[in-house]
């Protein structure tokens, strides 16, 4: 039987788009499924969330707290709604994978990372384009004598500093999986993008025959596509659904990089919505599992992210032009799992924030709060859902009862779900889950990275494509 | 008049926020339209509970949210926002997404 395509790729995020692009460049005919729409810039961030985030931004984990998780559901996947920040995978993690995962080729992986770096045209944010939130934090760190803060590397070409990276880049300058990989691949003529189509079931190959993908179209039509291989790139929250249907034991080992941000009110005008929101960052020199990164949401999103209510909330919104914010994320020791009682699109996420992660979260908020107060902030607002979350002096910050903080009080978010089909646990170093069925998204990342994971995921995709082409790409 | 609209009006009056130009019902409908069905269906009952039941449960006051004194309204909203039970905070978020969006619709860029 002749295959409909050489490969069917489900998902157009970092994993799916990069794999599809390299397979197509190598001469393979590829069908790419994307259930979400093509994203267009929206003047209102809340509308972008409703249209292009999975479950309209309502994806959340439950456990010893409430853990919203942000993932994209649009052409380009989460890269369309991320900050564009690029960080290489940690050296210690790659070394560990080489030691513990049979067949993992660290040298080839590192080469793929550099390939990704070039393709995304990664460049360091120039100081003049950094948002004022970052500048103020850097000022505070300098006054405290804390070194190591730096401007971050981002995937962009011609960024205008519109400050809305996470709500679809208005200028299109941010390099996404769609713009950097998928769009060029479509020009080869070897890729058929099936927008509005979703995977129903992956079918492993039997006795050296074809694999297949049962797919559903936007009008409910069903088809089965035969192919040499099916690549699952639906993201860490959806891919385990398809893996379990073919008998793989996926869904455990979820990490989310719990993250939060501290708000600070200044007398001076900040207008944090101007410039690159995630322009700067640094690693905690004494707690390397704690990474600080810029974070600022546009005014229309602020009421939903500020942990206050009623008139206290209004006071902060009224002063939002004078508000700065900066975030942090934890390379989590805690783990979660994902189940799908009603299908791939509605994950049921369980997650437990580990005690050691909670301590790092409180350390993170203390560090940012201290820096902003040193920079001249009138008051800071901690990401805690409790009445005493506004602090006005360094002394009050030191006197705060940090030991009393509970995971359930944190106003946090997970931005990088990873690990639900971990390399070495669920898939082998060839990323195969079954004959003819491969996985290529955040789910294969074997552990919490502590860095924004898009470069790592892209690199896994390039390696998979090269292997599937027999080393030709 | 929907349960969500009633809560939004009471919330806006308390926080001193104006009614959206197109009215609360239209603004809320527009904001709810892209949400998943389960979220749209849940928001009304959650708003009803926040307006009628929450004052009794959290403040021991058998009164509507609208009829509480301003300090008690703030106290009630704080109890919901600061709830440690993930499901309760999640349910309040289902109200907040459309209601705060509508209430602060005219206040952009800190204006």
Q: What is the pLDDT of residues A153-174, one digit of tens each?
A: 999 999 999 999 999 999 999 9
Mean pLDDT, residues A355-371: 98
Closest-CA residue to A52 (of A42, A65, A64, A67) = A42
Contact A309 B85 (CB under 8 A): no
- Min distance B1 CA to chain A CA atoms (Å): 22
Asked whether residue B109 carries a pLDDT value surpassing 50, the answer given is no
- Phi/psi region, residue A471 (left: phi>0; alpha: psi -120 to 50; beta: rest), is left
Residues of A with CB under 8 A from a CB of B: 46-47, 50-51, 55-58, 60, 62-63, 65-66, 271, 273, 298-300, 303-304, 307-314, 317-323, 385-387, 406, 408-409
Contact A304 B100 (CB under 8 A): yes
Q: Determine the Cα angle at A208 with ends A207 and A212, to 5°.
A: 95
- Min distance B70 CA to chain A CA atoms (Å): 9
Q: How many residues does chain B have?
A: 111
Rounded-to-integer distance, Cα A68 and Cα A80, Å: 18
CA distances (Å), origin A95, targets A12, A89, A257: 29, 10, 21
Rounded-to-integer distance, Cα A366 and Cα A206, Å: 56
Predicted confidence band of residue A196 (pLDDT cuts 50, 70, 90) = very high
Mean pLDDT of chain A: 96
Contact A299 B85 (CB under 8 A): no
CA distances (Å), origin B5, targets A100, A309, B17, B55, B92: 57, 18, 14, 18, 15
Q: Determine the Cα angle at A78 with ends A73 and A84, to 5°.
A: 150
Query: Which residues partner with A229 through β-bridges?
Result: A7
Judge contact between A309 and A232, C-beta under 8 A: no
Tell me the DSSP string of A293-339. Answer: EE----TTTHHHHSS--HHHHHHHHHTGGGEEEEEEEE-----EEEE
Coil, strand, or helix at residue A181?
A: helix
Substitution target in B81, B88, B93, B99 with the highest count of A β-carbons within 10 Å is: B81
Predicted confidence band of residue B110 (pLDDT cuts 50, 70, 90) = very low
Judge contact between A357 and A240, C-beta under 8 A: no
Rounded-to-integer distance, Cα A61 and Cα A68, Å: 6
Rounded-to-integer distance, Cα A343 and Cα A442, Å: 19
Q: Closest-CA residue in chain B for A47?
A: B31
ipTM value: 0.94
- Min distance A370 CA to chain B CA atoms (Å): 24
pLDDT of res. B111: 38
- Chain segment A239-292, per-residue pLDDT in tens: 999 999 999 999 999 999 999 999 999 999 999 999 999 999 999 999 999 999
Coil, strand, or helix at residue A125?
A: coil
Contact B80 A309 (CB under 8 A): yes
The strands making up A252-254's β-sheet, listed across from edge to edge, are A66-68, A60-63, A348-351, A336-339, A252-254
Q: What percent of chain A shows pLDDT beyond 70?
A: 99
Rounded-to-integer distance, Cα A254 and Cα A446, Å: 10
Q: Closest-CA residue in chain B for A315?
A: B15
- Min distance A134 CA to chain B CA atoms (Å): 18
The separation between CA A330 and the C-alpha centre of its own chain, rounded to angstroms, equals 13
- Chain segment A296-333, per-residue pLDDT in tens: 999 999 999 999 999 999 999 999 999 999 999 999 99
Q: Could you tell me whether strands A290-294 and A153-155 are parallel, antiparallel, or unpaired per DSSP bridges? A: unpaired
Asked whether residue A121 carries a pLDDT value surpassing 90, the answer given is yes
Neighboring chain A residues of B98 at a CB cutoff of 8 Å:
none
Judge contact between A182 and A192, C-beta under 8 A: no
Rounded-to-integer distance, Cα B26 and Cα B33, Å: 11
Largest CA distance in chain B: 39
Asked whether residue B107 carries a pLDDT value surpassing 70, the answer given is no
Query: What is the Cβ-side half-sphere exposure of residue A224, based on CA atoms within 13 angstroms?
Result: 8
Contact B78 A310 (CB under 8 A): yes
DSSP conformational letter for A39: P
Fold held by A5-51+68-121+168-250+417-468: FAD/NAD(P)-binding domain (3.50.50)
DSSP conformational letter for A148: -
Q: What is the CATH class of A124-155+258-330+354-409?
A: alpha beta
Contact A309 B74 (CB under 8 A): yes
Judge contact between A303 and A319, C-beta under 8 A: no
Q: Could you tell me whether strands A222-232 and A211-216 are parallel, antiparallel, or unpaired per DSSP bridges? A: antiparallel
Contact A314 B34 (CB under 8 A): no
Neighboring chain B residues of A309 at a CB cutoff of 8 Å:
74, 77-78, 80-81
Tell me the DSSP string of A238-279. Answer: THHHHHHHTT---SEEEB--EEEEEEEE-SS---TTSSBTT-
Judge contact between A439 and A232, C-beta under 8 A: yes
Coil, strand, or helix at residue A290?
A: strand
Q: What percent of chain A shows pLDDT beyond 90?
A: 97
- By 3-state DSSP, what share of chain B in percent is helix, strand and coil, each rounded to 5? 70, 0, 30
Q: Closest-CA residue in chain B for A52?
A: B34
pLDDT of res. B61: 87
Q: Determine the Cα angle at A181 with ends A292 and A185, to 5°.
A: 175
Phi, psi dihedrals of residue A98, rounded to the nearest 5°: -65, -40
Judge contact between A373 and A397, C-beta under 8 A: yes
Rounded-to-integer distance, Cα A39 and Cα A80, Å: 8
Q: Closest-CA residue in chain B for A320?
A: B110
Rounded-to-integer distance, Cα A298 and Cα A136, Å: 17
Rounded-to-integer distance, Cα B56 and Cα A357, Å: 36
Neighboring chain B residues of A321 at a CB cutoff of 8 Å:
109-111
Contact B34 A60 (CB under 8 A): no
pLDDT of res. A386: 97
- Chain segment B40-99, per-residue pLDDT in tens: 999 999 999 999 999 999 999 899 999 999 999 999 999 999 999 999 999 999 999 999
Rounded-to-integer distance, Cα B11 and Cα A230, Å: 51
Judge contact between A76 and A39, C-beta under 8 A: yes
A55, A313, A322: residue with CB nearest B36: A55
> What residue ranges do the domains of chain A occupy?
5-51+68-121+168-250+417-468, 124-155+258-330+354-409
Q: Could you tell me whether strands A379-381 and A390-391 are parallel, antiparallel, or unpaired per DSSP bridges? A: antiparallel
Asked whether residue A1 carries a pLDDT value surpassing 90, the answer given is no
Buried b (16+ CB within 10 A) or exposed e, A350-377: bbbbbeebbbbbbbbbbbbbbbbbbbeb
Residues of B with CB under 8 A from a CB of A: 14-17, 31, 34-36, 39, 70, 73-74, 77-78, 80-87, 89-90, 93-94, 96-97, 100-101, 103-105, 107-111
Buried b (16+ CB within 10 A) or exposed e, A384-397: bbbeebbbeeeeeb
Judge contact between A25 and A119, C-beta under 8 A: no
DSSP conformational letter for B18: P
Predicted confidence band of residue A43 (pLDDT cuts 50, 70, 90) = confident
Asked whether residue A473 carries a pLDDT value surpassing 60, the answer given is no
Query: Which residues partner with A427 through β-bridges?
Result: A423
């Amino acid at each position: 039987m002749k295959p409909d395509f050489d490969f069917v790729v489900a998902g157009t995020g970092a994993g799916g788009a990069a794999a599809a692009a390299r397979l197509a460049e190598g001469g393979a005919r590829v069908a790419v499924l994307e259930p979400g729409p093509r994203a267009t810039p929206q003047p209102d961030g809340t509308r972008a969330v409703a249209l292009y985030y999975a479950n309209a931004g309502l994806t959340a984990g439950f456990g010893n707290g409430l853990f919203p998780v942000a993932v994209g559901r649009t052409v380009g996947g989460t890269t369309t709604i991320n900050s564009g920040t690029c960080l290489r995978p940690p050296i210690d993690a790659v070394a560990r994978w080489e030691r513990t995962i049979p067949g993992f080729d660290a040298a080839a992986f590192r080469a793929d990372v550099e390939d990704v770096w070039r393709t995304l045209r990664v460049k360091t944010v120039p100081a003049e384009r950094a948002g004022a939130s970052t500048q103020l934090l850097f000022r505070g760190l300098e006054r405290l004598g804390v070194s190591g803060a730096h401007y971050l590397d981002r995937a962009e070409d011609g960024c205008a500093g519109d400050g809305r990276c996470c709500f679809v880049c208005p200028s299109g300058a941010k390099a996404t999986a769609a713009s950097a990989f998928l769009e060029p691949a479509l020009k080869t003529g070897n890729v058929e993008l099936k927008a509005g189509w979703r995977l129903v079931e992956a079918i492993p190959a039997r006795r050296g025959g074809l694999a297949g993908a049962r797919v559903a179209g936007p009008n409910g039509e069903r088809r089965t596509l035969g192919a040499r291989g099916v690549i699952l790139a639906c993201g860490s929250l959806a891919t385990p659904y398809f893996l379990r249907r073919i008998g793989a034991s996926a869904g455990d080992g979820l990490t989310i990089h719990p993250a939060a941000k501290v708000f600070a009110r200044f007398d001076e005008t900040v207008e944090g919505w101007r410039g690159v929101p995630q322009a700067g960052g640094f690693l905690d020199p004494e707690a390397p599992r704690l990474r600080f990164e810029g974070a600022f949401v546009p005014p229309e999103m602020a009421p939903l992210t500020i942990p206050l209510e009623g008139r206290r909330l209004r006071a902060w919104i009224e002063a939002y032009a004078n508000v700065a914010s900066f975030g942090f994320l934890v390379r989590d020791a805690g783990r979660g799992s994902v189940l799908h009682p009603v299908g791939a699109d509605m994950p049921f996420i369980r997650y437990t924030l580990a005690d050691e992660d909670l301590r790092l979260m409180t350390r993170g908020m203390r560090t940012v709060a201290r820096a902003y107060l040193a920079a001249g902030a009138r008051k800071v607002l901690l990401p805690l859902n409790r009445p005493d979350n506004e602090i006005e002096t360094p002394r009050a910050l030191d006197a705060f009862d940090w030991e009393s903080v509970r995971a359930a009080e944190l106003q946090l978010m997970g931005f990088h779900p990873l690990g639900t089909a971990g390399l070495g646990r669920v898939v082998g170093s060839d990323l195969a889950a079954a004959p003819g069925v491969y996985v290529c998204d955040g789910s294969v990342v074997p552990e919490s990275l502590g860095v924004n994971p898009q470069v790592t995921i892209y690199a896994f995709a390039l390696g998979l494509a090269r292997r599937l082409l027999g080393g030709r790409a | 008049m929907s349960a969500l609209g009633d809560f939004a009006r009471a919330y806006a009056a308390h926080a001193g926020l104006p009614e959206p130009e197109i009215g609360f019902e239209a603004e809320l409908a527009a904001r709810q339209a892209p949400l998943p069905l389960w979220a749209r269906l849940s928001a009304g009952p959650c708003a009803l509970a926040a307006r009628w039941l929450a004052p009794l449960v959290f403040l021991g006051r058998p009164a509507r949210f609208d009829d509480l004194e301003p300090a008690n309204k703030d106290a009630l909203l704080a109890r919901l926002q600061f709830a440690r039970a993930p499901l309760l905070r999640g349910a309040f978020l289902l109200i907040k997404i459309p209601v705060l969006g509508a209430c602060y619709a005219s206040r952009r860029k800190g204006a």
